[in-house]
Amino acid sequence: MSRFLWLVLYSMLAAASGNDQTVKFSMRNLCGEDIRVFWIGFDGKLVEQSALPTKNSSSVGINSYRSHRFVVTYNRGSDAEVKAHALQEGTQYQVGATNDIVTVEPGLILVRHDAAHRGLEACRLAVQKCDPRAGLPPPSPPPPTQAERSAVAGSSQMSAQCVQGHVADWIADRRGELDFEWTVYRNIK
């Protein structure tokens, strides 16, 4: 009985704390030079996230919690200089609710690639595949005739079906990846 009470108490405490949601994310360095990634501790001190600086085109995987803050800075100077620069001029990142991939672009610009970003990218690519005019500025022709408007409406419906098909394929591919990851996880566990 006491074991059950401990379990209930632990569950209640975990539910009550707002920071108990574990999130994994990855920072990919695409800025052109070595960077350092620090967690900003609750006391304001910086905690290094990898033993060595993150080289260009490399990544650092981080296990953290929702709402934790990190700062990214260039690896220029001594350890004390890098930390001082990080606190004064580094680029900060706050962990969100999803497992993100964050790219560090030139100028220490951070770009979050979450599920919404990947979905929008899939839609953009589907539109490009289905409409060769996508991305081009619209021409300025004379107003269309009724026959031309009907043809465009039919073409738009076919394009929408094409985009829907490509996005459905993309989702199926992602589902396959997730199924594979789940199988590997279960086998390792």
Predicted TM-score (pTM) of the model is 0.56
- Roughly how many angstroms between the first and final C-alpha of the chain, as a whole number? 29
Which residue blocks in the chain are alpha helix, DSSP H?
2-16, 79-89, 115-130, 146-188
pLDDT at 5: 37
Amino acid at 162: C
Q: What is the pLDDT of residues 126-167, one digit of tens each?
A: 787 777 665 545 445 555 566 655 555 555 666 777 877 877
